[in-house]
């Protein structure tokens, strides 16, 4: 029994070491979203939210790789006094907080070990918005968001620092066709490679 456990652990260690040697990385990250939700009934004010999650980087060759991530992203906005369709349903006056489970699928381009450029799509699933909202306000936001992401990352051994720009490509407003709301902003983050 002890021999099979030792053998199994040895296989796991060898597998992780060989994957790591081929350019596989796993880690956690966190940062700040500096965002604005564009729309006729929204202010031009920039708001701050947070971003937390994990990443997996797979190197395809010396220059190219892919990096899927799983993030919890918070975006905030403020409606103007003209947004009657939703203002009366917001519990915090005219403030909107949207939380998304985001899945960026990024292409990594590394001209050197120190620098990586990233570009790709990001899919977002609306997890919750201001609570408590009645059904009218909950229906004001589409359940999905599709964005494009581009940015750069500094790779400092096991520590990474990065910034990326994201821009929403679809309308997240769902109370009619009279307005179009899209997410956009900058995400600044720090990441730690675990494997």
In a domain, 17, yes or no: no
- What is the pLDDT averaged over residues 115-122? 98
Which pLDDT band, with edges at 50, 70 and 90, does 130 fall under?
Answer: low
Compute the radius of gyration of the chain from its Cα atoms.
20
79 belongs to a structural domain: yes
Instruction: Write down the pLDDT at residue 124.
Output: 95
Hey, what are 161's tokens? 């620092």
Instruction: Give the per-residue pLDDT at 17.
Output: 46
Residue 34 counted as domain residue: yes
For residue 93, give the CATH number of its domain: 2.40.160.20
Q: For the residues 84-102, what does the mean pLDDT come to?
A: 70
* Residue-level pLDDT at 79: 77
Q: Is residue 12 part of a domain?
A: no
- Residue 136 domain boundaries: 24-193
The predicted structure's pLDDT at residue 133: 45
Percent of the chain with pLDDT over 70: 75
pLDDT of residue 146: 96
Question: pLDDT band for position 90 (50/70/90)?
Answer: low
Does residue 182 sit within a domain?
yes
* In a domain? residue 87: yes
Please give the average per-residue pLDDT across 77-93, as a whole number: 62
> Which of 52-56, 89-93, 170-174, 185-189 has the least mean pLDDT?
89-93
Which tops the pLDDT comparison, 188 or 6? 188
% residues pLDDT > 90 (the chain): 57
Number of domains within the chain: 1
Task: Identify whether 107 is part of a domain.
Answer: yes
Examine residue 5 and state whether it is found in any structural domain, yes or no.
no
| Span 123-130, average pLDDT | 80
Q: Long-range contacts made by residues 18-25, C-beta under 8 angstroms, separation at least 24?
A: 20/195, 22/59, 23/57, 23/58, 23/59, 23/60, 23/65, 24/56, 24/57, 24/58, 24/59, 24/195, 25/55, 25/56, 25/57, 25/58, 25/193, 25/195
The string of pLDDT tens digits covering residues 10-24 is: 554 555 444 444 689
Under 8 Å between Cβ of 73 and 99: yes
Among left, alpha and beta (phi > 0; psi -120 to 50; other), residue 169 is alpha
The pTM is what?
0.80
pLDDT at 1 over 70: no
pLDDT tens digits for range 140-177: 778 899 999 999 999 998 999 999 999 999 998 877 77
């Amino acid at each position: 029994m002890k021999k099979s456990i030792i053998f199994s652990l040895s296989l796991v260690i060898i597998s992780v070491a060989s994957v790591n040697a081929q350019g596989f990385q796993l880690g956690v990250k966190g940062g700040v979203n500096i965002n604005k939700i564009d729309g006729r009934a929204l202010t031009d004010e920039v708001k701050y939210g947070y971003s937390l999650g994990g990443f997996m980087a797979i190197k395809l060759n010396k220059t190219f790789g892919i990096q899927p991530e799983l993030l919890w992203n918070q975006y905030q906005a403020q409606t103007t006094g003209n947004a009657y369709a939703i203002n009366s349903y917001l519990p915090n006056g005219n403030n909107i907080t949207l939380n998304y489970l985001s899945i960026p699928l990024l292409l990594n381009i590394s001209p050197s070990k120190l620098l990586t450029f990233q570009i790709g799509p990001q899919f977002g699933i609306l997890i919750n918005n201001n609570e408590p909202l009645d059904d009218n306000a909950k229906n004001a936001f589409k359940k999905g968001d599709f964005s494009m992401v581009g940015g750069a990352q500094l790779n400092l051994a096991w520590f990474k620092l990065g910034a990326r720009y994201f821009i929403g490509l679809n309308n997240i407003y769902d109370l009619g066709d009279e307005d179009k709301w899209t997410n956009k902003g900058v995400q600044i983050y720090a990441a730690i490679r675990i494997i």
